[in-house]
Chains A and B, each alone.
Chain A
Amino acid sequence: MGKVIVVTSGKGGVGKTTASANIGAGLASQGRSVVIIDTDIGLRNLDLVLGLENRIVFDLVDVVEGKCRSFRQALIKDKRFDNLFILASAQSREKDAVKPEQMKKLCKELEDAFDYIILDCPAGIEMGFKNAIAGAHEAIVVTNPEVSAVRDADRIVGLLEAAEIKNIRLLLNRVRPGQIQKGQMLSVEDIQDILSIELLGQVPEDERIVHASNRGEPAILDMKSKAGNAYRNVVARILDPAVPVSAPDTSIWSKLRRVLTADLGAQAG
């Protein structure tokens, strides 16, 4: 039976869709069968990030309304992996076009056909959020090291716990190790202390993420990308929780700089 994982955040723009696309592609690259569902009705995006925007015939609303024979007809196969599919959201409908019971039913059907069902949740805590979490077993809460994003993540964790979703893990995105070191950014430890949920992974800020989404290619396939590297660790941890979280800042130059500045800091202090 497949695992249904919702990727959510509360705040918009923290990287939910990017995370969903990369985690989905990463799991597929490890031989798992995966479907990613864009549940943001009216604001379709996942297809564009994965470069599949020209292949959409049916969408999520068509499936729940029974406009296509089965969900299989609406699934779009990825260009890179035969075992990765997406279900696009409806662009011209309202959030209430889908009901939580319908999502639950769809997730149940998909569980039998796939190893992983990733739900890309819309921002906010209204209908779209309620739909996205209705059929989920697990949750990945995406946040950034900013007060507003962390505060919203706390609210989301509360709502997920109230919905009795047991396995809730934190994905800290857009981490800037240099800025944390200077004392200008919340650290991973700070955020874990505040939210007190298990850390799934930390993804550094990386220009190559934009570069990847420009081309419709997930960054996880970009071996030069620091964020892609971090997502490979996240995927490894989803498959095996015993894998440790990798720290984002591991280049030789940054290690050297860290050692140097730590010594100088100690001398100056």
Chain B
Amino acid sequence: MSLRDRLTSGSFAVTAEISPPRGASTDPIAATAALLRDWVDAVNVTDNQGSNVRLASWAGSLAALHAGLEPVMQMTCRDRNRIALQSDLLGASALGIRNILVMTGDHPKFGDHPEAKPVFDLDSVQLLWTLRHMRDQGAVLSGRALKPPPDCFLGAVENPSAPPAEFRADRLGKKIDAGAQFVQTQFVFDVAAFARWMSRVRDLGLHQRCYILAGVGAVRSRNALDFMRDKVPGVHVPDDVYRRLRAVPADQTAAEGARLAAETVQQLSAIDGVAGVHLLVAGNEQAVPGILDEAGVRAVRDGG
């Protein structure tokens, strides 16, 4: 069942994120796909995540597709102008990659080429609008016709916990207006804050116009916890979560992190309007079966 069909059917969807390798081989993606295939509906393939050079998102997506796992191709506005971005959508669609996740992208400052020119010709809302225009109007921005137009299922990202909190649901509304059909959120560690955002989302009726997948991360070490809290832009790790993960011996941080992730999945799945979860586990994909098993998501999906 495709991600789109899963969401349309109303049953709980699960996606996970993987990073393509830093190297000219797609073998690691095939291995990860074999691990995740029976557990998730689709896998996000990041686009030079954190502004670090990796194998291209379209190539990684194609490798996942060949390995029998549906890809969600991530596309950032950081490295390509409107010509390249439109061209990439055509290429992806032609190769059978249907799910496209649009985001602004981290600034080059944070990656391994801080001296690079930041492109940002379009922003994420404009890119969604552009891709929808290509699909629905069958033309590129210049007006030239596409034969045939691309077929795509468009996704966006949102960070419910970042300021200005009052505007975050409206911003999702803008992305939906522009073309977003599903959204995957940034890490949710603060479930109460996420629930407040969802309440505003429901007030605006956005959950009826767009499938919402809540982002869940699994912390696997104390270093990763500190990095997440202090270095990852826009991620808010509340003090009680931080204390809980620091309270266990260092060699049990990964187990406790997975347990916390499983609990978070359960809590999020109970919130009205949440269509699924997105597991932000790039580099830690082996934790996925355990988290979903403990959260009882398999049972939910088998029953649903």
Chains A and B are bound partners: no
Chain A residues with CB under 8 Å of chain B are none
